[in-house]
Structure 1
Amino acid sequence: MFRKNIIGVIILIFFSFPTIAKTNENNVIAPKTTTKLVSFGLNLDGFEDALLAQILSYQKADVLISRYPRWIPGVRAFQIMAKHQGIDIVWGSATKERFNTYLPVKAPIYKGLIGWRLAFVTQAKQQIFADVSTLDELRAFNPGQRLNWADYKIYKENGFTIASGSSRRALAEMLLLDRFDFFPRGVIEIEMEQREYTNMSIVLDPHLLIRYKSAFVFYVAKDNLELAKILTEGLHKAKADGSFDRLFEHHFKALFERLDLPNRRIIELNNALLPKEMLNIEEHLWISPKTLLDTIPPPRVSDHKNTGFAQ
């Protein structure tokens, strides 16, 4: 779904930090080395690149980071990363399987926004959720999902009867044929998809925000302990000095306003796919629909255990 945003994109970010050049035993200045990293993942208006740039800016070294130059399936990207064959960092959903296979940086880089859903409905059913305010009431309506999407498992676990389709386009057409009642999609992608449905009598439900705890995290290869440490410490510092929050606000505040997220009724779902380690992360690292920035004072940079990130 994000192929258009990723394919063919190569973004080079060069960081030059003031460092003291090392000298060898003959007092000859040795040339500084440059660390080269390659990343792969979603491209939401450049947020991920900006966040990585901030994380790596705390390093007293030169870092050259580029996006992987072509689109490949996510599974393949993880395989390349694990084998050190050209990708160093992948960001993706936090799942138990991935936590067991790769080395995660246990912090939600979208502050949990990845688990927020709005519903596409037909124009004729635009008010079907006008009086819905509980999960039990929502279960009276059937969602549509692809069988291999994580959301399919989540809705099934929460007691819904789900219609499955072979593709997003097929699901939209099934919605128009009343094969199911609503098509929930992530808030970070829904505006792009909404434009595709302009002439299809499909609209956004104006009432509900369906939410479950979910996260995208940075992953590195299981044996790449040094890079995991760099990313973890950089995230700690970005959270502590406020730059993480400012980046998030810059990229997503307008989205909150356009979709009227603070004024929607929230329906909470359970997500058994989320690794237990992510449940230990403090609540102020998960964004609230009512506000973009935390009101909790930022912790000190030197005291990592108080930042709220899972260790």
Structure 2
Amino acid sequence: MQKIVKINILSPFLLFFASAFSAVAVQACFQRPGFDIPTLITPLNFHTEDRVYAYHADLLQMVLKKTEEEYGPCKLIVIETNKPLNRIHLYIDGGQLFDTVDSTVNPSRDQKLLPIRFPIYRGFMGYRVMIIREGDQARFNGINSLETMRSITIGAGMNWYDRKLVQQQNIPTVTGDDLGALYRMLPVGRFDAILRGVHEVKIDELRVKASGHSLEKNLVLAYPLPVNFYVRKSHHLLAERLRSGLEKGLADGSFQTFFYQHPLIKETLKRAKLEKRKFLYLCNPTLSPDSPLEKPKYWYKAWPDSVVQCSRHTTSDDAI
């Protein structure tokens, strides 16, 4: 079990921790006061009692172990925090507190931080399922195309890519301040559904603990939305270590084994029943050209050629 430190969003200890643990890069991890070996710090945005679902942290642990012979020992430290993701990115960019975080790919993020081009959830973030009001499934049984989706209203965060995507398809949207607000707005009828990455359904339960909703059973709105590990721009050796460990795991099959055996993925597959759902595919023209869309080995399910082509060559609003 990794060492876990709790930090409250308003705690002054956070700033002390950030400065006191200023680090020197050693062997692609960081030597910090009080530790006898280099360390790597990553955030956890739900409570430690649910630590079993911390997929990204467990994957980092596997990667560090697979690269220990080449890069040396490294202790993973997982910090429980309710800091918003944009603040965590600022800490990483400034070389403070956190060393790496898992985040969805977008052009702005790619400019500020250094991405490791490996889709760690194998495409699950782009498998958007709908959270609907409890008891509303019968209404959604007749929704099986983009055209019929225009009869419902989607709730989304202001900066969610989903919001732009569904608006481009002329699907009505309502904006909420944050995830908790969206889950409160759904049962009272402010909109009809929230789109979430298929694995986020469980994470939302851990973070929000809302009621009055259920998982829609029939559809996936699918588009390429990889989740990569990100590090500070200047931390090239760390990026090389993470990339090396992920690629080694993919090559020897240990990454695939890890994926299917992880509690978060096992519960996701059991609940979502992806094999029984209809996939409606959309483009994501904002993807970096070096995202490995054409290589099925990186993904849970190979992307159709039409999605690969339109995501590579499209700069406007397109759907498949």
Aligned to 2:166: 155
Cα shift readout 1:115-149 (whole Å, capped 9, x = no counterpart)? 22222223453222323332222233221112233
Structure 1: which amino acid aligns with 2:279?
Answer: I
1:177, 1:283 → 2: CA distance?
Answer: 41
Gap regions ≥5 residues in structure 1: 10-32, 290-311
Which one-letter code corresponds to 1:37 in the other structure? Answer: L
- 1:46 alignment partner in structure 2: 54
Quote how far apart the aligned CAs of 1:174 are: 3.8
**Residue 277 of structure 1 pairs with residue 286 of structure 2:** no
2:31 is aligned to none
Inter-partner Cα distance in structure 1 for 2:117 and 2:181: 35
1:283 positional shift: 2.4
Give the AA of the match of 1:223. Answer: S
| Superposition pairs of residues 87-126 of structure 1, within 5 angstroms | 87-123=98-134, 125-126=136-137
TM-superposed CA distance for 1:172, in Å, is 3.9
Q: Secondary structure at the match of 2:297?
A: helix
Question: Are the structure 2 counterparts of residues 147 and 44 from structure 1 closer, same or farther at C-alpha, using a change threshold of 3 Å?
Answer: farther
Offset of 1:104 from its aligned partner? Answer: 0.8
CA shift in 2, pair 1:122/1:116, >3 Å: same
Query: Does the 8 A contact of 1:127 with 1:205 survive in 2?
Result: no
SS in 2 for 1:276: coil
- Letter of the aligned partner of 2:158 in structure 1? L
Q: Which runs of 5+ in 2 are unaligned?
A: 9-35, 46-50, 303-320
Q: Which contiguous aligned blocks of 4+ residues in structure 1 show a shift greater than 6 angstroms? A: none
Q: Does 1:288 align with 2:301?
A: yes
CA distance 1:174–1:278, shift in 2 (3 Å) = same
2:164 and 2:218 mapped to 1: Cα distance? Answer: 24
* Aligned residue in 2 for 1:292: none
More helix as a share of residues: 2
Q: If the length of structure 2 is used for normalisation, what is the TM-score?
A: 0.72
The aligned residue for residue 59 of structure 1 is 68
The letter for the 1-side match of 2:39 is K
Residue aligned with 1:55, SS: helix
Matches of 1:125 and 1:135 in 2, distance apart?
Answer: 19
Corresponding residue of 1:245? 256
Amino acid at match of 1:36: T
Q: Quote the Cα distance in structure 1 between the aligned partners of 2:203 and 2:122.
A: 21
- Partner SS state of residue 130, structure 2: strand
Deviation at 1:112, TM superposition (A): 1.2
Q: Aligned pairs, how many?
A: 260
Deviation string for 1:282-309 (max 9, x for gaps)?
A: 12311139xxxxxxxxxxxxxxxxxxxx
What are the equivalent positions in structure 2 for 1:173-192 lying under 5 Å apart?
A: 173-191=184-202
Question: Structure 1 residues 178 and 73 mapped into 2: Cα distance closer, same or farther (>3 Å)?
Answer: closer
TM-score (norm 1): 0.73
Alpha-carbon distance in 1 for matches of 2:126, 2:167: 16
2:224 corresponding residue in structure 1: 213
Match status 1:37 vs 2:40: yes
Identity %: 26
Q: Structure 2 residue aligned with 1:259, among 272, 288, 303? A: 272
Q: Distance in 2 between matches of 1:168 and 1:73?
A: 11
Deviations 1:204-261 (A, max 9, x none): 2222122221111111111111111111111110111111101110121332122222
Q: In angstroms, what is the RMSD of aligned CA positions? A: 2.8
For residues 243 and 266 of structure 1, the distance between their equivalents in structure 2, rounded to whole angstroms, comes to 28
User: In the alignment, is the contact (CA less than 8 A) between 2:44 and 2:80 conserved in 1?
Assistant: no
Q: What is aligned with 2:244?
A: 233
| One-letter amino acid of the structure 2 residue matched with residue 248 of structure 1 | F
CA distance in 1, matches of 2:92, 2:194: 33
